[in-house]
Chains A and B, each alone.
Chain A
Amino acid sequence: MVKIHERKFVSADPDKCVGCQVCEYICSLTKEKAFNPLKSRIRVVRINQLINLAVTCRLCEDPPCVAACPRESLTQSEETGLISVDKDKCNGCGWCIEACDYGAIMLHPENKVVYVCDLCKEKGEPQCVKWCPEEALEVTTSDVLAQKARITAVKKLFQEAVKETQKAT
């Protein structure tokens, strides 16, 4: 059956992200009641002054972290795509961390079990998205990202025509 992808995840727009770490602070506060980027589910990477991006779990369709876990501690919700960690089973071996291409699942510095973004399910919405001063973060699906990319590409292809229409309206 053909079905629209409904799994939502937090995505950062590289054009808007400025590397300010507000997302890290609000994440660690929400989840750990403390300001500590080391405990944030979303991490900021600054390659140089121009290249900044916040990275977190993308709720992969076929998540390598789940596949890599030898202890079956990780499971993915069929409905939402969220990865959940069974804290009793996880022994912090780190196979999932190695399997994730995005560094989105991490070992907790104190609990010694892995943790990953859960879209702040207890709050109803991801707090990083709510707080991002640049509105660089959004909760979105891969289909919507693809749609937006296509629209941007077509607008660029037809720059002149787009300007004309804007003038007309």
Chain B
Amino acid sequence: MNTSKLTQVISLTALVFILQGCVTAKVDEMTYNPPEAGIGASSVVLLGRRHASNYDTERDFVQCVRDHIQAKDDTIEIVEESQFLDALYPWFEPRTAPMHPGAIRELLTQPAVTSKIQALDTQYMIWIDGNTERTDASGSMTCGIGPTGAGCFGFGTWSDESNYEAVIWDFSNQAEVGRINTSTSGQSYMPAVVVPIPIIAPVQGTACDGIGEQLLQFLSANY
């Protein structure tokens, strides 16, 4: 790579960082009995709660947390959410999903469920509950196109807020062994003078990193 290209890449990277909106994040963690030597050959499943009437935990958020953990420790086997839900259908649908660890004991009295869980070798089930929502938006922008070209003029701003809670259940003891909360908020801006320049606050991404990092510390022997 020649010097001019390298300068362009560095400038672009710097611009991306400069143009990110500010995010405020708070993470609370409370865990008991973490596996000292990691989870070994067992697997973990991350599931989103979707029983509330006014929101669903986003599937892409669950996937983001999964990717965050596996990017830093690929020895942790995390079962795909859809694979787990299909394998244990109909016991983990929004209507039927267990709401407390004691309900797992009842589920395990059914041979068909027990054999599926044994096949997946799941030691921890992590429920993620929450969502990201737009709390405020203002401003206006006008775009036009003419014979000489196109362009936009105006200014828009909006704020997002994320609240997520991850609850860790130990399958072998059918007990809750941890709870992690994260709250993030941030303001994004979009000024436009001919070209709109989005300055996006990565609110959901920060919440994903916060929960992912704490879960990584709980599950991994290397952190």
Partners in one complex: no
Residue positions of A touching B, CB distance < 8 A: none
Residue positions of B touching A, CB distance < 8 A: none
